[in-house]
Amino acid sequence: NAGVTQTPKFQVLKTGQSMTLQCAQDMNHNSMYWYRQDPGMGLRLIYYSASEGTTDKGEVPNGYNVSRLNKREFSLRLESAAPSQTSVYFCASSIQVNYGYTFGSGTRLTVV
Amino acid sequence: QKEVEQNSGPLSVPEGAIASLNCTYSDRVSQSFFWYRQYSGKSPELIMSIYSNGDKEDGRFTAQLNKASQYVSLLIRDSQPSDSATYLCAVGYITQGGSEKLVFGKGTKLTVNP
């Protein structure tokens, strides 16, 4: 029972490079979320997808795009990475908010 | 803007003591409340959920909710060094578009000293 799987676990990018963070869940959850976590800032929502085929901006969407490929997969793309995007990124999923979220293990991204 | 406030700590307690973690939230209509534990370098892990006013106990953990005061707390009895972690309070709410989201506090770092 894998839960929420994120790849890669670590990544170093140069400023201006692009990359896609992958997230997949095997719990048949409807909703999926991307957060970033920075020291002193807590978890901040980047984008979310309430259901397959829909995506919405969270509180810090600038510089990111997302794709809900199917019910299982929700990817986060950085088109032109900036040092301010150095962070730990977490993907999460839920069947319904009343049941809380299940988090993936995270991606530690450094942009130099 | 929905807000969830926690004392950032750090909170330090001796082994065997009761650790008390507190959280306040801004949205009066919120109906679901959660506590997550996050060990250093790891992802948040759900440890408690509560939906009704009062107390909910699960082993050494007790969550307390007071909707009138917009206040949620987590008590950890007989604290162990393995409880040392950052504890995140999360509150659920429904957006205008009907989507459901959690808003997280910034977390309280707890250290249990042997």
* A103 near B CB under 8 A: yes
Phi (first) and psi of residue A99, to 5 degrees: -100, 0
What are the phi and psi torsion angles at B81 (to 5°)? -55, -30
- Mean pLDDT to the nearest integer, A64-75: 96
Average pLDDT for B90-98: 83
Among A92-101, B7-16, B30-39, the least confident range: A92-101
* Across A1-16, average pLDDT: 94
Chain B neighbors of A42, CB-CB under 8 A: 88, 104-107
Give the separation between CA B10 and CA B64, rounded to whole angstroms.
21
Average pLDDT, integer, range B50-75: 96
Closest CA to B84 of B6, B34, B12: B12
Q: What is the separation of C-alpha A50 from the centre of its chain, rounded to a whole number of angstroms?
A: 14
Tokens of B22: 């507190």
CB A75 within 8 A of CB A67: yes
* pLDDT at position B16: 97
* The pLDDT value given to residue B100: 77
What does the pLDDT average to over B100-113? 93
For the record, the structure tokens of A89 come out as 């990124």
Contact A102 B46 (CB under 8 A): yes
Residue B42 identity (one-letter amino acid): K
| The one-letter amino acid at A6 | Q
Least confident range from A50-54, B1-5, B87-91: namely B1-5
Report pLDDT for B79: 98
Over range A8-33, report the average pLDDT.
96
Q: What is the pLDDT of residue A44?
A: 94
Alpha carbon distance A29, A91 (integer Å): 13
- Tell me whether B99 touches chain A (CB under 8 Å): yes
pLDDT reported for residue A41:
86
CA distances from A41 to A21, A87, B79, B107, B114 (A): 21, 11, 27, 9, 29
Torsion over CA: A110, B4, B5, B9 (sign): negative
- How many contacts (CB atoms, under 8 Å) link A and B? 59
**CB pair distance less than 8 Å for A103 and B90:** no
pLDDT at B95 over 80: no
Q: Does residue B14 have a pLDDT over 70?
A: yes
Q: What's the one-letter identity of residue B23?
A: C
Query: Quick one: what percent of chain A has pLDDT higher than 70?
Result: 99
Q: Which two tokens stand for residue A78?
A: 């950085």
Q: Which among A100, A104, A106 has the least Cβ separation from residue B46?
A: A100
Task: Write the DSSP string, A37-85.
Answer: EETTTEEEEEEEESSTT--EE-S--TTEEEEE-SSSBEEEEESS--GGG
Check if B29 contacts A (Cβ < 8 Å): no
Which residues of chain A neighbour B46 with C-beta distances below 8 Å?
Answer: 100-102
Whole-number pLDDT of residue A29: 93
Report how many helices (DSSP H) and strands (DSSP E) chain A contains, helices first. Answer: 0, 11
User: Mean of the per-residue pLDDT values for chain B?
Assistant: 93
Shortest distance between the Cα of A112 and any Cα of chain B, in A, equals 21
Query: Which amino acid does the sequence have at B6?
Result: Q
CB contact under 8 A, A97 and B101: yes
Q: How confident is the model at residue A1 (pLDDT cuts 50, 70, 90)?
A: low
Q: Does B7 touch chain A (CB under 8 A)?
A: no
Tell if the CB–CB gap between A98 and B101 is shorter than 8 Å. Answer: no
Residue B4 · residue B25 · CB < 8 Å: yes
> What pLDDT shows up at residue B41?
94
Q: Is A94 on the interface with B (CB under 8 A)?
A: yes
Q: Using 50, 70 and 90 to split pLDDT, how confident is the model at B40?
A: very high
